[in-house]
Amino acid sequence: MLDREGYRPNVGIILVNHKNEVFWAKRIREHAWQFPQGGINQGESPAQAMYRELYEEVGLCPEHVRILGRTREWLRYDVPGNFIRRDSRGHYKGQKQIWFLLRMVGRDCDVSLRMTRHPEFDAWRWSQYWVPLEAVIAFKRDVYTAALNELSTILFRRRGEARYLRQRAQAGPVSKRTTGGLHAS
């Protein structure tokens, strides 16, 4: 399901523990790390898709997490042609995402990367909140920056910490399409 502009609706998940470290997962059989994310099915709300993806990719149920907030606007990224499957080329440009910030209230042992027949990840770890900006694949970096910036105001109330991230984000170009306001639940 693509929108008129060629973007697939998707959700991104920033899961934090009690230390405000983020859940960072390694794609199966690759050296690429990312946040959990996935498509929104026809008739599904972003929140329903988030809970489904959280269970499929990480093995967590709604009782294992608490929603702290979400991005107000869709954040978009273009997928380079060499990453697009042959059968998807043409109208497909990339992903448009609503990002959710979740607090883990379950235990680490509740995480299971093998909930489906085709797992997405084969390893995970807790990382400092800012690490994904340096480690994520380049074409997702602007969206990660926008999502982490927007949602950081929920976690980090002190101006110094939020300002650090904003300065860091200004070091590279961020498309107007990837900015938006905060929606806290």
The lowest-confidence range among 58-67, 116-125, 165-174 is 165-174
Whether residue 91 is predicted with pLDDT greater than 70 in this model: the reply is: yes
- pLDDT (average), residues 133-139: 93
Give the bridge partners for 85, in sequence order. none
pLDDT at 173: 42
Greater confidence (33 vs 86) lies with: 33
Of the candidate ranges 50-54, 64-68, 174-178, the one whose mean pLDDT is the lowest:
174-178
Residues contacting residue 133 through CB under 8 Å, at least 6 positions apart: 141, 144, 145, 148, 168
Name the CATH superfamily housing domain 7-129.
Nucleoside Triphosphate Pyrophosphohydrolase (3.90.79.10)
> What average pLDDT does this structure show over 67-90?
84
Report the pLDDT value the prediction gives residue 156, as an integer from 0 to 100: 86
Q: How far is CA 134 from CA 82, 149, 168, 169, 176, in A?
A: 22, 14, 11, 11, 21
Q: How confident is the model at residue 34 (pLDDT cuts 50, 70, 90)?
A: very high
51 three-class SS: helix
- Locate the domains of the chain by residue range: 7-129
